[in-house]
């Protein structure tokens, strides 16, 4: 987890250097958390029953975002803003002989369209980035890890109400989509690669749909 937070910090610093002439109100940094739902195929899980998978789909997510709005408006109240996003997610469930704890970390550059008003902002954003997937599972009491690193893309919609010139409260709907042509499994001292896992409910495209709430800082 620490390496992803460090990477996010370095990327935000890099964007800040590109925006060296930023003054108060040109940038937004936000953090959110809320419920998340795993959609699509389940990847390498320990139990494929419908009930187990349905419970495993319900999780939580958290994110951090940075956008540079600048001064220029387009089409009246709208601004185009480059930025960065990090989102983490967790989904877990337990069965008699096994358990799964799925962790996902996504980081990507963003391009957003903001509608900027005095008391509120609305935004749409998208980007393509990197997602790390890990299922820290147990089977008969022994640890079993499933992992993969994939390209992914996101679509996001958000809104903010400004409490002051510096602070706002916000909500965001974020959809992250990726695929699973292959993944690695480590269990009982052995490691192997699983290719094209289309059968038995494991493989294909999957996504996270998250409804997040948090705060924005304007600077």
Q: Tell me the average pLDDT of the chain.
A: 88
Q: Among candidates 121, 2, 145, which has minimal Cα distance to 67? A: 121
**Any idea what the Cα angle at residue 215 is, between residues 87 and 207, rounded to 5°?**
25
Contact (CB, 8 A) for 154 and 111: no
What gap in Å lies between CA 158 and CA 35, rounded to an integer? 15
- Give the pLDDT confidence of 99-148 residue by residue, as tens digits: 999 999 999 999 999 999 999 999 999 999 999 999 999 999 899 999 99
Beta strands in 69-197 (DSSP E): 78-94, 98-116, 120-139, 142-162, 167-178, 182-187, 190-195
Q: Which residue has the tokens 């480590």?
A: 186
What gap in Å lies between CA 26 and CA 150, rounded to an integer? 32
What gap in Å lies between CA 93 and CA 64, rounded to an integer? 26
Strand partners, 136: 145
The hierarchical CATH code for the domain 2-8+30-105+114-218 is 2.40.160
- Is residue 98 scored above 90 in pLDDT? yes
Break the chain into its structural domains and give their ranges: 2-8+30-105+114-218
For residues 41 and 151, which has the higher predicted lDDT (pLDDT)? 151
Q: Per-residue pLDDT averaged across 12-24, rounded?
A: 46
Q: Which residue has the tokens 């997040």?
A: 212
Strand partners, 41: none
Q: Per-residue pLDDT averaged across 74-93, rounded?
A: 96
């Amino acid at each position: 987890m620490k390496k992803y937070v460090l990477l996010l910090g370095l990327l935000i610093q890099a964007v800040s250097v590109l925006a060296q002439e930023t003054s108060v109100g040109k940038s937004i940094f936000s953090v959110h958390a809320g419920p998340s739902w795993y959609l699509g195929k389940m990847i390498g899980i320990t139990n494929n029953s419908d009930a187990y998978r349905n419970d495993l789909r319900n999780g939580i997510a958290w994110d951090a975002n940075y956008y540079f709005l600048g001064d220029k408006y387009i089409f009246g109240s709208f601004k185009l803003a480059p930025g960065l996003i990090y989102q983490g997610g967790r989904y877990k469930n337990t069965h008699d002989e096994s358990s799964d704890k799925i962790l996902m970390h996504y980081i990507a550059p963003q391009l957003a369209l903001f509608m900027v008003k005095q008391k509120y902002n609305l935004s749409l954003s998208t980007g393509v980035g990197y997602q790390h997937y890990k299922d820290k599972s147990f089977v008969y009491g022994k640890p079993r890890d499933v992992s993969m690193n994939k390209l992914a893309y996101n679509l996001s919609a958000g809104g903010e109400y400004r409490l002051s010139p510096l602070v706002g409260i916000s909500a965001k709907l974020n959809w992250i989509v990726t695929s699973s042509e292959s993944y690695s499994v480590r269990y009982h001292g052995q490691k192997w690669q699983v290719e094209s896992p289309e059968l038995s409910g494991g493989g294909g495209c999957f996504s996270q749909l998250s409804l997040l709430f948090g705060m924005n800082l304007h600077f």
